[in-house]
Chain A
């Protein structure tokens, strides 16, 4: 079955450490996204990528970094510069080009930093 996988499901880190969240898709989608979800705030866009080796900042990119070396993979690094990293992180993908397309979401990673 095609879909998006995120690992791990739960992640715990100490303050000051960088941590990388994995996102892989086998839907052959060109576009991939990272969102942060906090209670009562909906989804906020961190980064998105339309093609390999290219990505754009979203609304809340500060303290995060990404790479897109392969079409299937779009890992997100939460750096120590992110002031409040504890959140639920969602990866998504979509067809790109021409008009808006629905996004398909992974199961999410819940990050807790103490």
Chain B
């Protein structure tokens, strides 16, 4: 079985501050990991993915995530938050074809 846990349903940061969204996974086999972003009343857009190559993955909009096997984590970071980053973020894990499991999501608020 595979699953992800996103720590913190809501995160609030000031504009220009570091963004850190936490994701821990559970998988019995080497996982593929994904971060998606969702703006209100829209679908999900892929930010980045880990597919067993480099452990530090860079994505769109200045986001990156680091795969840490020893900690079973795949936290999402961005050095400097922008107002346009306010959205809901989902971590997802997939250990086999056609089977992707999503976390409950973290809503990011950016204060001016």
- A59 nearest CB neighbor, chain B only: B101
Please report the C-alpha to C-alpha distance between residue A102 and residue B46 in the assembled complex, in whole angstroms.
Answer: 8
B20 within 8 A of A: no
Q: A103 contacts B104, CB within 8 Å?
A: no
State how many residues of chain B have any CB contact under 8 Å with chain A.
24
State how many residues of chain A have any CB contact under 8 Å with chain B.
28
Please report the C-alpha to C-alpha distance between residue A104 and residue B43 in the assembled complex, in whole angstroms.
Answer: 9
Chain B interface secondary structure, helix, strand, loop or mixed?
A: strand
- How many contacts A-B (CB < 8 Å)? 58
Query: Which residue from B9, B45, B94, B99 sits with its C-beta under 8 Å from A105?
Result: B45
Q: B97 contacts A97, CB within 8 Å?
A: yes
Chain B residues with a Cβ under 8 A of chain A: 9, 32, 34, 36, 41-46, 49, 51, 90, 94-100, 102-105
Chain A residues with a Cβ under 8 A of chain B: 4, 6, 9, 31, 40-43, 48, 50, 88, 90, 92, 94, 96-108, 110
